[in-house]
Amino acid sequence: MLRLNRRQFISHAVTRSMSASALALGVAPALLRGQNLNNKLNIAVIAAGGRGGSNLESVSSENIVALCDVNARNLAAASAKHPQAWKCSDFRKLFERAKDFDAVVVSTCEHTHAFATMLALHHGKHVYCEKPLTHNIWEARRIREAAAKAKVATQMGIQIHATENYRQVVELVQSGAIGPVSEAHVWVSRAWGWQSEADAKRHQDIVWVVERPADSQPIPEFLDWDLWLGPAPERPFHSVYFPGPKWYRWWDFGNGTMSDLGSHWNDLPFWALKLQAPLTVEANGPPPHPEIAPASMSARTVAAQSGCGALPGRYPLPTAAQSSGAACHRASRASSSAPRSMSSRTTLPFQAKSMFGSSTQARRYGLNCRFAYVR
């Protein structure tokens, strides 16, 4: 394992992503393994329960100086393990003491990712943000621009990107071991979202709901509901939103399975085939629901491979991690009647399917993607 002291880390951070080489040390936030107390990073953690709790554990070898969570129970549990850290429930307050920390780990709900990440970048802090990077494409572009200006180490939480199997698949594809590839199919075995009650039971959904609740329920005493909503439109509390991951099916808070799992699985073909930003996106599924993402849908994306040049007015996303996040955001709302053949440009039809089905064997090998050459 490569060990960097604090000075070396900060020096490298301006030019290297935390997802690259020495900093991609594992499948969770790989900020640094310090040699002694003076070499450790001071880290602020935004969201400390669920996925956030796992991320906190992954960086617990560093100096955890601040904890932030809108859920008082999560905050208390994290504080018990890191009593030296100061606490708050509003991440805006966290940055009033920005001088106290070097890096930030963001594991909030999807609709607040960009807001916490942008604050970190504006304060010149290294930042790890859970996937998907943002709630929509516009936010992703703003974050990309801010990160370029901040020149700090950044990483998005596609943990599987750092696994040996993914790297081996990428090496095989890029070495030509399977020949030329012109099409890739991606699928998942989860169907959570807008569907019939019978389908929800069959698909083992964690909650069944087809409309926004007309009633409200008491806000749990440990939850700051206003801060949980954050930038989302105000609505009464109800247990169909909280606790997670119930919230990700609601458009105001997430983008459904295509966004949640698509961020992971779509990463592989984008990385292996060196795809650029999509040229066209076509979506297929049930009629759009104004509130809830569909349980099953598919999206077909046509993208140019690296080296083919960029279309006027378009620009490629710089990394596979960022590309995969932006490519699948709100895909279920998009449709296009663009022709499938894009002049003489070298294009690669890329089809991503978010649908329920048996993929036990695929999951066993950590691979939910099929590459194909279509004549």
Write down the pLDDT at residue 250: 98
Total residues found in the chain within this entry: 375
**Residue owning tokens 């609740």:** 213
Write down the pLDDT at residue 39: 86
Give the Cα separation of 330 and 268 in Å (integer).
Answer: 19
The angle at the Cα of 348, spanning 343 to 349, to the nearest 5 degrees, equals 100
Write down the pLDDT at residue 369: 75
Residue 284 phi/psi, 5° resolution? -135, 135
Give the Cα separation of 300 and 353 in Å (integer).
Answer: 8
Write down the pLDDT at residue 111: 97
CATH number (3.30.70.20, 3.40.50.720, 3.40.50.360, 1.10.3720.10) of 6-157 reads 3.40.50.720
Residue 171's CB is within 10 A of a number of other CB atoms, namely 11
Assign 3-state DSSP to the chain and report helix, strand, coil percentages, each to 5: 35, 20, 45
Residue 365's CB is within 10 A of a number of other CB atoms, namely 9
Write down the pLDDT at residue 188: 87
Write down the pLDDT at residue 3: 55
Q: What is the mean pLDDT of each run of 10 residues along the chain (375 residues)?
A: 46 38 42 58 97 96 98 98 98 97 98 98 98 95 97 93 92 93 88 96 96 97 98 97 96 93 90 90 93 94 66 30 29 26 30 35 49 60
- Where exactly does CATH 3.40.50.720 map onto the chain? 6-157
Give the Cα separation of 226 and 234 in Å (integer).
Answer: 8
Write down the pLDDT at residue 182: 86
What's the distance, Cα to Cα, between the start and end of the chain in Å?
45
Q: Can you give the C-alpha Rg of the chain in angstroms?
A: 21
Instruction: Convert 209-227 to b/e letters by CB count within 10 Å (16 or more is b).
Output: beeeeeeeeeeeeebeeeb
Write down the pLDDT at residue 29: 57
Write down the pLDDT at residue 115: 98
